[in-house]
Structure 1
């Protein structure tokens, strides 16, 4: 009986895996695993290790060289000073660090200065007046902690109102939500909520989730933390939307949630949320829509561009779609709130409860409620000052302010896409991005390495993002980008000509890193090793 139990149990799991991945993909995964393990074993042999390790060591040194400043002008503070420093000394030292931590070009201009508007995403600036307001709000509530709402009732009120305003933006005024530290935490909290909901209501002990290949890595991160199996579903090569037929095939009794993006991070396209919603309702599973990047742009797209007026169609994506049960939205992106603020929203307060952590038997002192430890998200103590900054930003911008900001960003995004389509025949746009991100690759037969183009753009001061599968480069447009769209198109044309005229030489960051990832079966492992070295270098004092 025990033997047949294991045969049936693992036979069913194997069949479900085959149904979700397909026979060819499953064979490919097995071959890739075997090839990788074999090559990694070979790399441990002395002759191979003698060749590979020096190259990896050199790569690690290059990473440290780029991140850790050096030279006689660098002062290092590795221990506490015996006496506290003055305010003037501290500010002066910050000025010095700003001068030697940045790279400068031949003219003495700071490379990758976010104020130039040449940074893809990363900095979401609402103007100096708003920055000054946020600083004032931060100063007012700098010691506040929402963990103690009885001591800081104003912060509690502001957090509840930030969540309420976002719920109304996404058309669910009767829903529920919480604030988090960013999009990653919002996504992980949703994954945790669905895991616990499925366990409580369906008895699922081996949860699985279905995620588009274009979804943010935070879903994989959450699944790794929470021990959930992930089925990664490919996207259509033209539309860049997740393949609904493959999603449907991957759903099984252990499925706890589906995922869609509006828009996705890699190429800015929007999944068929309506189609995903129908599948979620039919199978009684959760559907999370990642609007972290779209945040305060996608809710205003209909107002800015009514359907059918400009050749672009923004599919339905929010709580008006039946089956959508949660949405994540970053206030610290196009909401212009201070970094470290995001909102996770649920269709019902009941679903939100599965996000909470509650310990009613803790023997510590009073926290939150008498004798009970309860917290809504990963953090216990949280910076109330950031909540105050988010509330202040939303009050300052208002609906009309966000509408105008969204309209400017969308116009700039579509201008970039149109410029590439009509003026640069060597390139093509991935999908039909309607909002704030444009990804472009090199056409077959063009003779252009798009990653080298990205590296060349970097030398012109642009800080863009490299993609793989397919190789491409993307720009996330912000309010700072709006004024330099023409410069972007001109620099992109020049970069293509420079790449065409150049001879193979030293590769830049994009080519070195992403080219290595595609070079062999062990490429991703080597990239992972370099990524770990990068994180190590962040903490090298």
Structure 2
């Protein structure tokens, strides 16, 4: 090869190498600019959806949290935090785990099986051995226990006994359970004014919400090509939506509620759609229709109260499938429906959406596997108990139940508004829940909650703003006078006093004490969960 040919070949090699480098550089540059533009666009959409002031506050919270977490890595700070958490751990164990030489622990199978009489007596003894146990039968518990009465309990027990080993996973073996489950869904659909809809029973409100989120995510991916889904919820929404976001990698956008009405801020929801008390469902339905997105209405707590408000003589608002745009509703049968715990229904406007909830594996080694919700095997006895209670109560029974429960809530609301000036009602209670905060700088509302706890009450704490709420049940109806008297005494007892060291003040004061507060509260919650499994 001549010198000229070698020189020309070298130039060609150099030129090809430069082209490759330029091409690689171009790809790197394009990727860099893509990432920058993507995050700028996300930041812009966040500002549009949340406003400038809220976005600045969010950024400040993020920076503060990172700084505080970094500071906590300093050994001295770490030791101090660990010492405080150890105190909390000891306190939680003292409250949850029975102590003393008389406590009998069953940590292994007995060598010989026990008799039924022994088992019943031992369960009774365990019920009585904890000094911190709350008696729910006296009506001092907010929500949690939705007891329909001794007659309803007897109906449930008859159904549980008959179907105690049934499993809807095998409808050919338990055809009556399949029929009852379908009828429970059908009855709920008619309650919510959509007899042509469809649904599935679940283990509770959380699973109903999670399943709805999953179905809407799959629908959005298939129909609209959305690969980075977002769910817009008011800040008052149940934590189950955040749980679904965590499980299914869905971004959850929280929109502050109106500070006066405590209802979803529709204009803010609309702005957030650019980024992707009973709320204004018709207005939200219009937005859902306009943007062709799903609208889930969470009626888990309202369940068998809200559909009967009008029949019971109380004002109501349009909230169900009569609202165009509503695509799914969750309803807990185990709350005001008085069904056994572990029972809920998720309803859909059409079967197309419900199909996206199912899990189907046609090529599993064990044969075709299909399940309607999270669980495979399910307790058919709970479905039978639910069906039995709904048949027993009937429309007239639920109407009367609504009348007495909401009547109790209205009375509590009236007394707080007119006779306890240190407190104020949050929003406009429409059904069974009454929430209130402190109207006086001299009264810490969480200290009021601790004072009520000392009087045997179990109320629910709220944050942003600080408050308490009681979900009235049938049990509350007979305890309203005692509640009012104890609430007045509790307010007087904490008026002008330091907040103290009660559970509510400690936990929720910690949560608002600094940017890292919620992280520490999360650690306390994890300690609580760990303690639940210490035998």
**TM-score interval (norm. to shorter):** over 0.9
Q: CA deviation at 1:340?
A: 0.1
Q: CA deviation at 1:276?
A: 0.3
Q: CA deviation at 1:504?
A: 3.3
Task: Verify the 8 A CA contact 1:186 1:328 in the aligned structure 2.
Answer: yes
Structure 1 residue aligned with 2:266: 244
Residue 137 of structure 2 is aligned with which of 115, 134, 144? 115
Structure 1 residue aligned with 2:394: 398
Structure 1 residue aligned with 2:82: 53
Structure 1 residue aligned with 2:524: 530
Structure 2 residue aligned with 1:516: 510
1:381 & 1:5 partners in 2: Cα distance? 47
- Secondary structure of the structure 1 residue equivalent to 2:232: strand
Structure 2 residue aligned with 1:345: 347
Q: CA deviation at 1:6?
A: 3.0
Say whether 1:132 aligns with 2:134.
no
Task: Verify the 8 A CA contact 2:499 2:505 in the aligned structure 1.
Answer: no
Structure 2 residue aligned with 1:285: 293
Q: CA RMSD in A?
A: 1.3
Q: CA deviation at 1:163?
A: 0.2
Structure 1 residue aligned with 2:242: 220
Say whether 1:304 aligns with 2:312.
yes
Residues 74-223 of structure 1 aligned to structure 2 (within 5 Å):
74-103=103-132, 112-223=134-245
Say whether 1:458 aligns with 2:453.
yes
Change (3 A) 1:410 1:5: same
Structure 2 residue aligned with 1:334: 336
Structure 2 residue aligned with 1:232: 254
Q: CA deviation at 1:438?
A: 0.3
Runs of 4+ more than 6 Å apart: none
Residue 57 of structure 2 is aligned with which of 19, 28, 33? 28
1:202-222 deviation digits (Å, cap 9, x = unpaired): 111100110000000000001
Residues 450-489 of structure 1 aligned to structure 2 (within 5 Å):
450-489=445-484
1:338 & 1:226 partners in 2: Cα distance? 29
Change (3 A) 1:96 1:49: same
1:4 & 1:535 partners in 2: Cα distance? 45
Task: Verify the 8 A CA contact 2:447 2:500 in the aligned structure 1.
Answer: no
Structure 2 residue aligned with 1:265: none
- Secondary structure of the structure 2 residue equivalent to 1:302: coil
Task: Verify the 8 A CA contact 1:428 1:442 in the aligned structure 2.
Answer: yes
Structure 2 residue aligned with 1:367: none
Say whether 1:389 aligns with 2:385.
yes
Q: CA deviation at 1:321?
A: 0.6
2:43 & 2:514 partners in 1: Cα distance? 28
Structure 2 residue aligned with 1:359: 361
Say whether 1:493 aligns with 2:493.
no
Could you tell me which runs of 5 or more consecutive residues in structure 2 were left unpaired when the two chains were aligned. Answer: 1-29
- Secondary structure of the structure 1 residue equivalent to 2:353: helix
- Secondary structure of the structure 2 residue equivalent to 1:251: helix
- Secondary structure of the structure 2 residue equivalent to 1:194: helix
1:238 & 1:133 partners in 2: Cα distance? 43
2:184 & 2:374 partners in 1: Cα distance? 19
Q: CA deviation at 1:27?
A: 2.1
Q: CA deviation at 1:43?
A: 1.6
1:66 & 1:479 partners in 2: Cα distance? 28
Deviates further, 391-400 or 38-47: 38-47
Say whether 1:415 aligns with 2:417.
no
Task: Verify the 8 A CA contact 1:21 1:231 in the aligned structure 2.
Answer: no
Q: CA deviation at 1:506?
A: 4.2
Q: CA deviation at 1:231?
A: 0.7
Task: Verify the 8 A CA contact 2:64 2:515 in the aligned structure 1.
Answer: yes
1:358 & 1:465 partners in 2: Cα distance? 40
Change (3 A) 1:249 1:151: same
Could you tell me which runs of 5 or more consecutive residues in structure 1 were left unpaired when the two chains were aligned. Answer: 104-110, 256-268, 307-312, 365-370
TM-score (norm 2): 0.93
1:297 & 1:140 partners in 2: Cα distance? 29
Q: CA deviation at 1:86?
A: 1.8
- Secondary structure of the structure 2 residue equivalent to 1:154: helix
2:499 & 2:222 partners in 1: Cα distance? 58
Structure 1 residue aligned with 2:12: none
- Secondary structure of the structure 1 residue equivalent to 2:342: coil
Deviates further, 13-22 or 214-223: 13-22
Task: Verify the 8 A CA contact 1:118 1:481 in the aligned structure 2.
Answer: yes
TM-score (norm 1): 0.92
Q: CA deviation at 1:56?
A: 1.2
Say whether 1:11 aligns with 2:40.
yes
Deviates further, 289-298 or 82-91: 82-91
The number of residues matched between the two structures is: 506
- Secondary structure of the structure 2 residue equivalent to 1:81: coil
Residue 96 of structure 2 is aligned with which of 51, 67, 70? 67
2:220 & 2:81 partners in 1: Cα distance? 46
Deviates further, 154-163 or 9-18: 9-18
Q: Is the radius of gyration larger for structure 1 or structure 2?
A: 2
Task: Verify the 8 A CA contact 1:293 1:333 in the aligned structure 2.
Answer: yes
